[in-house]
């Protein structure tokens, strides 16, 4: 927060509190000489009249207690612009303290499962560890991959044993920890619209879909010239690059003709964020165990 806005917030906050206090005291002073009376202010609604009597003492005292509490709170805690309060409290600091306490409390539990391999976590008797991984998956991964790991449009299904970078335990852990950046370059300008449709026909034919045979034949030569460097000569993909297998009828962005054509024409860019800055190694280990279990049931 800039110095101007800090001062702005501080002045307005204190002005409102002090203004209300002044109004309360000024009104109270003008009423102290009054006695209880049956005289009204002329306001009446539904048979209820407003009497011209002083504010009850207990009500006045409650107002003053509220003002005192408010000023004390603003002195001790953040609330006046950039002023952090005399206690130095912050929501970030409290969160960090609670996280440190939780880390210390659950450290022995995580250490127990960290000593096991991902494959050992799949063994009977280690269900509690997988459930811990499932809960952390739900908190950190389900937004993209779904609560059951079945994926969504543009986000891989983790339950089908079809992996862009490999489905062994070490690779899954590396993916979670370090993230991935997948890129499919756009070929529309190179192929032209007719070439895009020809290559789309050939790509779909690889997974057994019915397409125009002549168009697929034309697309084959273009595919071999432009696409095999990533997808391989047999179009089964390349794990090192994260290039998908085009022969298994599993599609990240949809397997209809138009969606495949869109991918070829405009390219695709997928990002899997790194989680090693959010989660420690033990937590990533348990999430890996859970993800591994989804496709190895």
Q: Is residue 141 a known part of a binding site?
A: yes
Other Cβ atoms less than 10 A from the Cβ of 13: the count is: 15
In angstroms, the CA 156 to CA 153 distance is: 8
Q: Is residue 275 a known part of a binding site?
A: no
The enclosing H or E element of 131 equals helix 127-140
For 34, phi then psi, to 5°, come to -80, 150
Other Cβ atoms less than 10 A from the Cβ of 284: the count is: 22
Contacts 24+ apart (CB under 8 A), 126-130: 129/286, 129/289, 130/286, 130/289, 130/290, 130/293
In angstroms, the CA 285 to CA 291 distance is: 10
Cα 100–chain centre separation: 22
Q: Is residue 20 a known part of a binding site?
A: no
List C-alpha distances in Å: 229 to 45, 236, 237.
85, 11, 9
Tokens of 265: 């024409």
In angstroms, the CA 142 to CA 158 distance is: 11
In angstroms, the CA 228 to CA 84 distance is: 60
Query: Please, are residues 49 and 43 in contact by the beta-carbon 8 Å criterion?
Result: yes
Bridge partners, 45 (sequence order)? 48
Query: Please, are residues 156 and 164 in contact by the beta-carbon 8 Å criterion?
Result: yes
In angstroms, the CA 272 to CA 174 distance is: 11
Binding site membership: which residues? 141, 144-145, 184, 227, 230-231, 272
Binding-site residues for heme c, please?
141, 144-145, 184, 227, 230-231, 272
């Amino acid at each position: 927060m800039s110095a101007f806005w800090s001062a702005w917030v501080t002045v307005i906050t204190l002005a409102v509190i002090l203004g209300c206090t002044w109004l309360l005291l000024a009104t109270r002073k003008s009423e102290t000489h009054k006695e209880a009376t049956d005289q009204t202010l002329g306001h009446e609604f539904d048979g209820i009249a407003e009497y011209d009597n002083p504010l009850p003492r207990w009500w006045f005292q409650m107002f003053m207690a509220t003002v005192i509490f408010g000023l004390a709170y603003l002195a001790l805690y953040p609330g006046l612009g950039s002023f952090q309060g005399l206690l130095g409290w912050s929501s970030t600091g409290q969160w960090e303290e609670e996280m440190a306490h939780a880390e210390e409390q659950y450290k022995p539990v995580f250490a127990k499962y960290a000593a096991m391999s991902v494959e050992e976590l799949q063994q009977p008797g280690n269900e509690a560890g997988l459930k811990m991984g499932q809960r952390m998956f739900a908190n950190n991964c389900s937004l993209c991959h779904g609560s059951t790991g079945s994926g969504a449009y543009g986000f891989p299904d983790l339950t089908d044993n079809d992996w862009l970078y490999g489905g062994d335990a070490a690779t899954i852990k590396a993916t979670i920890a370090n993230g991935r950046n997948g890129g499919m370059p756009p070929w529309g300008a190179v192929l032209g619209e007719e070439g895009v449709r020809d290559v789309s026909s050939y790509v779909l034919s690889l997974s057994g879909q019915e397409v125009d045979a002549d168009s697929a034949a034309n697309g084959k030569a273009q595919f071999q010239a432009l696409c095999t460097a990533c997808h391989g000569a047999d179009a089964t993909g390349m794990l090192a690059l994260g290039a998908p297998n085009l022969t298994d009828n599993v599609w990240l962005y949809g397997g209809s003709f138009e969606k495949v054509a869109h991918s070829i024409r405009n390219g695709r860019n997928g990002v899997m964020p790194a989680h090693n800055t959010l989660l420690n190694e033990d937590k990533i280990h348990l999430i890996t165990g859970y993800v591994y279990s989804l496709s190895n049931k």
